[in-house]
Amino acid sequence: MAIHPRLVSRTCYHKYEVDSGLFTPGNHVEVEPKRCLDELGVPRDLSGLRALDIGAWDGPYTFELERRGAQVTALDIQDPNITVFNAVKEIKNSGATYVRGGIYDALPSTLGTFDLVLFAGVYYHLKNPVLALQRIRRLLANTGILFIEGASATDYLAGEINKALGLSKSRVRSTAEILDQLPLSYFDAEKRIYSDWSNWWFPTTHCLTAILEDSGFRNVDLKLRENAFCNYSHRRLMGRAEADPAKSDPERQQYEHGVATKDVVAQNRTMPRRSRLLSRLPPVLHPAAKWMRRFVRRLVGWS
């Protein structure tokens, strides 16, 4: 593969085609942006749409989104002059906008809102992936779509459980199918799944689905499969989720924990004695206690 002549003195993370037969000098992962986005289900015609590529790095997906007709903003903590983003942007005469920063600080007031957000290969690098998804929801229009891809703990945990129980390797997939239906996430402090130090949270399919739904998304469709983002080397999560118009600001306190509006002790003092007794029972017992109270009332002729 020939390196583009304007990049021969450079090194970078992603190897991808910049021009016909000419590539970036990536030394970590080789990707075909068109195939990656096709597998993820990103439409081939994005004309008139605003798209945000989170974790753009060297820009393989930014420039593919732009090629499909989108007006693209790339967001990353990396310096685009140290990566080859700006160099490729110049080669392609691209109109993409690069914003240097992290997703935790990304706000509609500074970036605007988007019709499409690409969040590929990022969430497992974050110590606060739920916060990141809440931020993304605020960046999406109410009709917007999130396309997401990333690592999973399912196959790793299935293998470890089978080894611990002395089960054969042939049964790992069966164990994985069970685990993947549980809302589990593995905090890989010991770097057992990926060796790089910057990998943290690895969810199962059900866990990531639940997080997305809690973070302001609906109609979540995720699959655990080998894909082009990792050159089909192992299974990862990939899919899409729609913005839920009913939950446009999932960071609000009311979605996380209740806030007391009355002094509970003072409130209980003004309650009838029977109601105070009921309030001391676990909520699960309230229906049965209310039924018993009505039964006793009828039995003894209480009003």
pLDDT, one tens digit per residue, over 35-50 is 999 999 999 999 999 9
Q: Output the six-digit token pair for 297.
A: 């009332």
Predicted confidence at residue 54, as pLDDT, reads: 98
Across all residues in the chain, what is the average pLDDT? 92
| Number of Cβ within a 10 Å radius of residue 276 | 13
Model confidence at 90, pLDDT cuts 50, 70, 90, reads: very high
Alpha-carbon distance of 296 to 171, in angstroms, equals: 57
Per-residue pLDDT, averaged over 86-109, amounts to: 97
User: Which positions ≥6 away from 216 have C-beta within 8 Å?
Assistant: 133, 134, 137, 138, 243, 244, 247, 248, 249, 250
Predicted confidence at residue 272, as pLDDT, reads: 66
Three-state SS at 163 = helix
Predicted confidence at residue 286, as pLDDT, reads: 73
**pTM for this structure?**
0.85
Predicted confidence at residue 1, as pLDDT, reads: 80
Predicted confidence at residue 299, as pLDDT, reads: 65
Q: Which residues of 40-60 are buried (b: 16+ CB within 10 A; e: fewer)?
A: bebeeebeebbbbbbbbbbbb
Phi, psi of 266 (to 5 degrees): -65, -40
- DSSP states along 66-108: HHTT-EEEEEESS-TTTSSHHHHHHHHT---EEEES-GGG--H
Q: Where are the alpha helices (DSSP H) in the chain?
A: 33-40, 60-67, 85-92, 108-111, 129-139, 154-165, 172-179, 205-214, 264-270, 273-279, 286-300
Per-residue pLDDT, averaged over 70-77, amounts to: 98
Q: How many Cα atoms within 13 Å fall on the side-chain side of residue 134?
A: 14
Predicted confidence at residue 208, as pLDDT, reads: 98
Do residues 276 and 264 make contact, with C-beta atoms less than 8 angstroms apart? no
Residue bearing the bigger pLDDT, 168 or 217? 217
Predicted confidence at residue 303, as pLDDT, reads: 45
CA nearest neighbour of 229 among 119, 121, 67: 121
Question: How confident is the model over 256-284, as pLDDT tens digits?
Answer: 888 888 876 665 566 666 666 666 667 76
Q: Which domains does the chain have, with CATH numbers?
A: 2-246 (3.40.50.150), 264-300 (no CATH)
Predicted confidence at residue 46, as pLDDT, reads: 98
User: Which positions ≥6 away from 170 have C-beta within 8 Å?
Assistant: none
Question: How confident is the model over 174-233, as pLDDT tens digits?
Answer: 999 999 999 999 999 999 999 999 999 999 999 999 999 999 999 999 999 999 999 999
Three-state SS at 224 = strand
